[in-house]
């Protein structure tokens, strides 16, 4: 990814979203831009127009944190967008050659695998910064059964390239928007990740919906929330999800789904566990017949 183009497009998109009224500025006459002018952003951030123009052209290398914070305040960025701006600036000071000398292959440590497998009544899995699922317990495989039909197992690819996704995720638009926003945030942190760039290129080429959402330059960070699923065996359920970063494994996160006790979602999870067990028994029986 071109870090300068990424930074430039992000700043332009945020500037276009802030109206003079929202920024507390008076409005005189006709305006040719949907949001603030460059001069207005510079004034609000306490910098020269020339300096802000340089930044909006993607030149964020060497910009101090205090200047970035002032710009974030002027553009009314939320916490996620502010962190994204700082990530873009950090990436601007890192050369591609330096990053490429330190390639890392993400692997799930045995101790983390034990945690995932030990959560018997909660779907849990580990994913990397490209949303690839690297390890999952049986209940997570059952919950995402359609996603696991294709390698590499990637929910974001499933959302945009599999026609069943709109049925699996009743809130498909929100799921799609958040997935794209998460990938956008990862690009700022890892602009020279070739596999991440390949995934984005593939989705941009094959999905009009992805391409449209990618053009908004919105960012998202998964922490906690709820998600609705429709599973062919148990019907619809709404689950709480938590995303826990694994500090010792850069780029990896542990995702755990749960349901409040004595709710329809909790009953659905129990049914799902029974369905998963029956599927495993069927597979084992089929393998035994083959070996005879």
For 11-34, what is each residue's pLDDT tens digit? 999 999 999 989 988 887 778 777
44 contacts: CB under 8 Å, gap ≥ 6: 23, 25, 36, 73, 74
Residue 136 CB neighbour total at 10 angstroms: 22
What is the pLDDT at residue 283? 56
Fold of 3-93: 434 Repressor (Amino-terminal Domain) (1.10.260)
- C-alpha to C-alpha distance for 32 and 222, rounded to whole angstroms: 36
Q: Are 144 and 131 in contact (CB under 8 A)?
A: no
Q: Which two tokens stand for residue 184?
A: 């956008």
Provide the residue ranges of all domains of the chain, joining segments of one domain with +.
3-93, 110-291
Per-residue model confidence as pLDDT tens digits over 119-152: 999 999 999 999 999 999 999 999 999 999 999 9
- C-alpha to C-alpha distance for 119 and 133, rounded to whole angstroms: 16
Per-residue model confidence as pLDDT tens digits over 224-244: 999 999 999 999 999 999 999
Q: How many residues does the chain have?
A: 292
Burial of 110 (0-12, 13-18, 19+ CB in 10 A): exposed
Angle at 196 between CA 191 and CA 202, to 5 degrees: 125
What is the pLDDT at residue 134? 96
List 229's β-bridge partners, or say none.
Answer: 237
CATH code given to domain 110-291: 3.30.450.180
Q: What is the mean pLDDT of residues 174-182?
A: 97
| pTM (2 d.p.) | 0.88
Helix (H/G/I), strand (E/B), else coil: 229: strand
Longest dimension (CA), the chain: 85
């Amino acid at each position: 990814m071109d870090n300068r183009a990424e930074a430039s497009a992000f700043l332009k998109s945020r500037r276009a979203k802030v109206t003079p009224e929202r920024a507390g500025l008076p409005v005189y006459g006709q305006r040719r831009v949907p949001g603030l002018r460059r001069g207005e952003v510079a004034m609000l951030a306490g910098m020269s127009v020339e300096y802000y123009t340089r930044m909006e052209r993607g030149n964020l290398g060497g910009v101090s944190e205090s200047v970035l914070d002032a710009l974030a305040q002027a553009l009314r960025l939320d916490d996620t967008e502010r962190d994204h701006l700082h990530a873009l600036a950090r990436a601007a000071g890192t050369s591609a050659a330096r990053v490429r000398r330190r390639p890392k292959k993400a692997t799930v440590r045995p101790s983390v695998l034990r945690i995932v497998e030990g959560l018997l009544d909660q779907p849990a899995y580990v994913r990397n910064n490209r949303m690839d699922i690297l390890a999952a317990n049986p209940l997570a495989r059952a919950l995402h059964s359609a996603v696991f039909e294709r390698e590499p197992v990637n929910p974001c690819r499933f959302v945009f390239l599999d026609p069943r996704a709109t049925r699996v995720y009743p809130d498909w638009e929100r799921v799609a928007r958040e997935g794209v926003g998460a990938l956008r945030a990862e690009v700022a942190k890892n602009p020279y990740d070739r596999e991440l760039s390949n995934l984005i290129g593939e989705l941009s080429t094959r999905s009009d919906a992805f391409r449209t959402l990618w053009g908004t330059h919105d960012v998202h960070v998964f922490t906690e929330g709820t998600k609705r699923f429709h599973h062919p065996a148990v019907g619809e359920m709404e689950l709480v999800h938590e995303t826990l970063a694994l500090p010792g494994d850069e780029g990896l996160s542990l995702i755990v789904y749960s349901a409040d006790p004595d709710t329809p979602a909790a009953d659905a999870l129990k049914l799902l566990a029974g369905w998963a067990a029956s599927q495993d028994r069927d597979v084992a029986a089929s393998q035994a017949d083959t070996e005879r």
